[in-house]
Copies of this chain bind each other. A is one copy, B any other.
Amino acid sequence: MKKIRIAILGLGTVGGGVYRLLEMRKAEMPKRAGVEIEVAKILVRNIEKAAKKADRSLLTNDWQEIIGDDSISVIIEVMGGMEPAGTYIMEALKAGRHVVSANKDLIAVRGRELLMTAKENHCDFLFEASVAGGIPILRPLKQCLAGNEISDVMGIVNGTTNFILTKMTDENMEFDEALAVATELGYAEADPTADVEGYDAARKVAIMASIAFHSRVTFNDVYTEGISRISAKDIKYARELGCDIKLLGVAKNTPDGIEARVHPMLIPCSHPLASVKDAFNAVFVHGDAVDDAMFYGRGAGEMPTASAVVGDVIDILRNMEWGSSGRIGCSCYRDLPIKEIGDIESKYFMRLHAEDRPGVLATIAAVFGNNGVSIAKLIQKNTQDGFAEIVIVTDSVRERHFQDAMAVLEGMSVIRKISRIIRVL
């Protein structure tokens, strides 16, 4: 039986999991994929350190040893980061190697180029693990749901922020405290910026939107707001309105263009996404035929991510066996415009402090009315030092008009402070 030689680039958390899972499934591979497999080389920075995780004879810190070895036909890139991963993948594809990658940073920016290079060289370039870890989402979009016109892809695609928001909700913590817990438990990195500011989620939204809408969306196209300014009070008030606050990645295909955005959002406690707790991820899809569907599971971690990578490897092996490498490549055959954030429509939740005297509410309501914003709820909370805290929920309105109203309110002497604005599903 044919034996396929595989190289892994990187032996960190994900790389270690991929190596382990490939070894665990080695005996089954002939039955599942029709070929034998062998991990031939692993590229690492520090051979001494890596020797604790894998047989030293497999380890190299020299990329040329891998790219120069024609007997290696599948390369798994799990190093992360833009470079040198980008160069390595491009070189691998140009040399006719099939590539699996979990690198959302790279794919959200250079996806088209990588897929085109794969196509030119009749290679597979697969990246199921780049979005939502172990949860099958890209392949279902490209295959199972391929008969649909997908209008919405929306999800909780960052486990770190979902863990933090769950802690804040269930244990009434403030953001800093919940972040500290997440860091201690290893859910947050030393520099948590990419997670808490929504950049990580934005990369996943770019990749999912590109596939769902058949039109390329890149990281820079995604409007991004993080959760670092969400307070325990916001969550408490949201709860009083029957809502949870989640960091959502939202992509919509509308007649005026694609919306792609990541921001905190109030969602009804009864919504299936509200029950997604801790570090779990979930992606909600709406298609014209399938209606609503949801995919739920572990969005990160050593073995769940390895599950997605090895699924891709098996697909590559099957394609090699059937002579159909490159069978499903780039599916972006449209070129749709990206909508500006000002043009989206949303409901809004806001908290502000205003002077506690007759006529002030009427003045605020007039500002909203003049800008075409209709108020669905207005609740006066506690009063202190002559200022009242007011919570307002609007009906659906174009963001631009809502922001115009905010600009006027901010300039008014009766308003002390607009404390928070959060979009509502």
Q: Which positions in A face B, CB cutoff 8 Å?
A: 17, 21, 24-25, 31-33, 128, 134-136, 139-140, 143-149, 214, 272, 275, 287-298, 301, 303-304, 306-311, 313-315, 318-319, 322-324, 327-328, 331, 333
Contact = CB atoms under 8 A, between A and B. Distances in A.
15 contacts: A17-B289, A25-B149, A135-B290, A136-B136, A136-B140, A146-B311, A147-B314, A275-B275, A289-B307, A289-B310, A291-B301, A291-B304, A294-B294, A294-B297, A322-B324
Given A24-B149, A147-B313, A318-B328, 10 more contacts: A32-B333, A134-B289, A136-B145, A146-B315, A289-B306, A290-B303, A291-B298, A293-B296, A322-B327, A323-B324
Contacts of A295: 293-296
Nearest to A313: B147
Contact of A143 (B17, B290, B291, B315): B315
A303 B327 contact: no
Q: How many copies does the complex hold?
A: 2
A292 B310 CA distance: 17
Contact of A21 (B289, B306, B319, B327): B289
A399 B288 CA distance: 45
Contact of A314 (B146, B307, B309): B146
3 tightest Cβ-Cβ pairs between the two chains A and B = A147-B310, A136-B144, A293-B297
Most chain B CB within a 10 A radius of its CB, from A128, A290, A294, A307: A290
Contact of A306 (B146, B147, B301): B147
A307 B139 contact: no
Nearest to A25: B147
A291 B287 contact: no
Most chain B CB within a 10 A radius of its CB, from A17, A144, A294, A323: A144
A299 to B, nearest CB: 11
A403 to B, nearest CB: 35
Contacts of A297: 290-294
A309 to B, nearest CB: 8
Given A146-B32, A311-B147, A272 B289 contact: no
A322 B147 CA distance: 19
A215 to B, nearest CB: 12
